[in-house]
DNA sequence: CCATGATCGACAACCTGGTTTACTATATGG
DNA sequence: CCATATAGTAAACCAGGTTGTCGATCATGG
């Protein structure tokens, strides 16, 4: 018990599991018409969501400046994942919404994450998986929907 | 039970816990003479280790090209974290070793990770924490010491 | 009703950490 | 002894961040 081993093993295992799930998603995406998406883009698509957003709001969600968010939006628009339309109620704003192609990414991601979860439940048992999730929630409370990984990683702050 | 919620919640919780541990380490480092280190550098220092390395080997461990590893080494040398010496047995090689300042980063990181682990054990109980670690090892087997996060994140492959 | 200030999106210049391509110097094996 | 492989370096480029600036458009208090 408590065979702690080197202290960094647990964090690395947390990261490895996260990464395994994300890799499963991107393997599926690459095999179905979205070969150029990187792990980082997962956060971006989640942050845009089915309801759409704006550059400022996206920047806040991703933890980056609005300029960086604007560049990301322009790139995704170029690739046909999002479209921009003027906001009729505020001429300064431009609404950013997922195209059908963009929504396909979100749908596929959700399905693959669910598939991974089911597979994990098979491997360690649903009860253990629920316990794992509950314990994680206790250790990093409330932070479930923080999507600001792009700003967290990366050189600047 | 098994209230799965949206499928991406579990991966995000894994990442949030990983991030909480890494943030604790970098808060401590920033407070003790290493304010400019980013989360990414943690992987670099682990990959160099107390035994030293070379540019090619470091690149392999981090999952980047030897050129990128060389740039990273040059930057860390500039900041006094590593030093380079010619390898007497192979004039092509340059041995890269941590300076005392670099070893301080490794030592502090290990201590803080251990402290975080102890705190987590208090919060959910040592038995639950051991179970969590064992389950994670089952879900992402063998991948405990993969340090190639820099290459995994980031634009190119 | 309008002047002032806040907000949204864009542009430019720059930084960091990647990549590819190309090169030199040194080992190594047939 | 030479052909090939390997270690490190360098140049040009790219992606995704940053700051600073700006024009256009709200929103508000006098």
Domains defined along chain A, listed by start: 11-145 (1.10.10.10)
pLDDT, position A156: 77
- pLDDT at residue A132 above 60? yes
Pair of tokens at residue A9 = 């093993």
CB contact (8 A) between residue B20 and residue A140: yes
The whole-angstrom separation of Cα B97 and Cα B59 is 15
- pLDDT band per the 50, 70, 90 thresholds, residue A14: very high
- pLDDT at residue A142 above 90? no
CB contact (8 A) between residue A20 and residue B140: yes
State the nearest Cα–Cα gap between B44 and chain A, in angstroms: 13
pLDDT, position B2: 46
In Å, how far from its chain's centre is CA A137?
A: 18
Residues 6+ apart with CB under 8 A from A119: none
Nucleotide nearest residue A66, measured CA to C1': C9
pLDDT: is A61 or A1 the higher one?
A61
- Taking alpha carbons only, the member of A51, A92, A120 closest to residue B132 is A120
- Taking alpha carbons only, the member of A83, A65, A78, A89 closest to residue A154 is A65
**For residue range B42-52, what is the model confidence (pLDDT) as tens digits?**
999 999 999 99
The whole-angstrom separation of Cα A114 and Cα A41 is 19
- Dihedrals phi, psi of A32, to nearest 5 degrees: -135, 45
Q: Measured between CB atoms, does B33 come within 8 Å of chain A?
A: no
Among candidates A1, A4, A124 on the partner chain, residue whose Cβ is nearest the Cβ of B138:
A124
- Dihedrals phi, psi of A155, to nearest 5 degrees: -70, -45
Q: What is the rounded average pLDDT of the residues B133-145? A: 88
- Spacing of B104 CA from C14 C1' in Å: 32
Q: What is the rounded average pLDDT of the residues A118-144? A: 93
User: Does the C-beta of B94 come within 7 A of strand D?
Assistant: yes
Tell me how many residue pairs between chain A and chain B have CB atoms under 8 A apart: 179
Residue from B13, B35, B142, B146 whose CB has the most chain A CBs within 10 Å, to mutate: B13
**Nearest-CA residue to the C1' of D11?**
B67
- pLDDT at residue A94 above 50? yes
Judge contact between A10 and B112, C-beta under 8 A. no
**For residue range B86-99, what is the model confidence (pLDDT) as tens digits?**
999 999 999 999 99
- Spacing of B92 CA from C30 C1' in Å: 23
The whole-angstrom separation of Cα A121 and Cα A74 is 39
Among candidates B11, B113, B116 on the partner chain, residue whose Cβ is nearest the Cβ of A21:
B11
- pLDDT at residue A157 above 90? no
Percent of chain B with pLDDT over 70: 96
pLDDT, position B5: 57
pLDDT, position B157: 66
The whole-angstrom separation of Cα B42 and Cα A145 is 24
Nucleotide nearest residue B154, measured CA to C1': C18
Annotate B43-68 with DSSP letters as a single string.
Answer: HHHHHHTTT-B-HHHHHHHHTS-HHH
Tell me the pLDDT of chain A averaged across its residues: 93
The alpha carbon torsion through B82, B88, B91, B96 (nearest 10 deg) reads: -10
Nucleotide nearest residue A55, measured CA to C1': C9
């Amino acid at each position: 018990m408590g065979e702690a081993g080197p202290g960094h093993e647990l964090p690395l295992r947390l990261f490895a599991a996260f990464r395994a799930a994300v890799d499963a998603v991107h393997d599926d995406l690459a095999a179905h018409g979205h070969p150029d998406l990187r792990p980082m883009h997962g956060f971006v698509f989640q942050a845009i969501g089915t309801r759409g957003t704006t550059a400022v709001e996206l920047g806040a969600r991703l933890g980056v400046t609005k300029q960086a968010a604007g560049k990301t939006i322009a790139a995704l628009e170029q690739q046909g994942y999002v479209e921009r339309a003027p906001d009729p109620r505020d001429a300064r704003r431009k609404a950013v919404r997922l195209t059908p192609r963009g929504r396909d990414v979100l749908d596929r991601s959700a399905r693959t994450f669910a598939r991974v979860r089911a597979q994990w439940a098979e491997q360690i048992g649903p009860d253990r998986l629920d316990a794992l999730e509950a314990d994680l929630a206790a250790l990093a409370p409330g932070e479930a929907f923080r999507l600001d990984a792009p700003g967290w990683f990366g050189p600047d702050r």
